[in-house]
Chain A
C-alpha cells in the first residue's frame, strides 16, 4: 500500500484529499478528506476538520473529526473538538475536550 508521509518540518495550509494511508508528522491547517487511515504521529499538529475512515492520534489535533470506522486517541495524543464515529477509544493519559457522538 502506497503511503504518504507529511514530514516533521512540513507545513501545509489548505486542503488534503485522497484515498491512501496518510501519516502526519508535521503541521496541517485547513481540511482533510481521506478515504483511508490517517495517523497523526507524535509531533504532528493538525488544525483541521477531518473526514476519514480511521484516525489514530499520538500528536495534537484541533478540529472536528468524522470517521466512518474508528477514532483512537493514544496515550500521548491531545485532541480538542467534536468526534463522530461508531468506535472511539481514548487511552489512559490522553487529553481530550469535546463532544462524542457514537451514533447509537
Chain B
C-alpha cells in the first residue's frame, strides 16, 4: 500500500517529491529542500531540509542531516535531525542518532548511540548532575 502511495505522489507535479529508484546508485553529496524517497543506494552525504524516507529496498551509507527521517531499509552513518527519526520494524540502522524525537519500533535492528538532547526529569538525571 505504501508503495502505491509513493507511486501516486510522484506524479503530483514537478518538484513535489524526489524518488531515487531502486536501480539507481548515487555516490557523492546530495542536498535539497523537498521530500526525498530512497529505494536505491546513496553513498556520501545527504543534507535535506525536508523528510527523507529510506524504503525497504533502500540503502544509505552516508552522514545524514535532515528535518525528519523514516527508515524502512538500511542506513549506515550518523544521523542528525531537527524533527524526528523513525526506525521501523523492518529497518537496520548502524550509526549515531541525534534528534529531539526518536521512534524505534519493535523489531528494528539498531547499533549506535542515541542523543535526544532533552531536559531529563530530576529523578532520572545522572547522579553527579543531581547534586
Q: How far is the CA of A26 from the CA of B14 in the complex (A)?
A: 10
A14-B44, A18-B40, A26-B32 known; A6 vs B27 contact (CB < 8 Å): no
Task: Tell me how many residues of B have a C-beta within 8 Å of chain A.
Answer: 26
B21 touches A7 (CB 8 A): no
A-B CB contacts (within 8 Å), total count:
88
Q: How many residues of A contact B (CB 8 A)?
A: 26
**Which of chain B's residues has its CB closest to A1's CB?**
B21
A20 close to chain B: CB less than 8 A: yes
How would you classify the secondary structure of chain A's contact residues: helix, strand, loop or mixed?
A: strand
- Determine whether B114 belongs to the interface, using a CB cutoff of 8 Å to chain A: no
Do A22 and B30 touch (CB < 8 A)?
Answer: no
**Interfacial residues, chain B to chain A (CB-CB below 8 A):** 10, 14-34, 36, 39-40, 44
* New contact pairs (14) apart from A3-B21, A9-B34, A26-B32, CB-CB < 8 Å: A2-B21, A2-B22, A3-B10, A7-B14, A7-B36, A8-B14, A10-B18, A10-B32, A12-B26, A13-B30, A15-B27, A16-B25, A20-B23, A25-B14
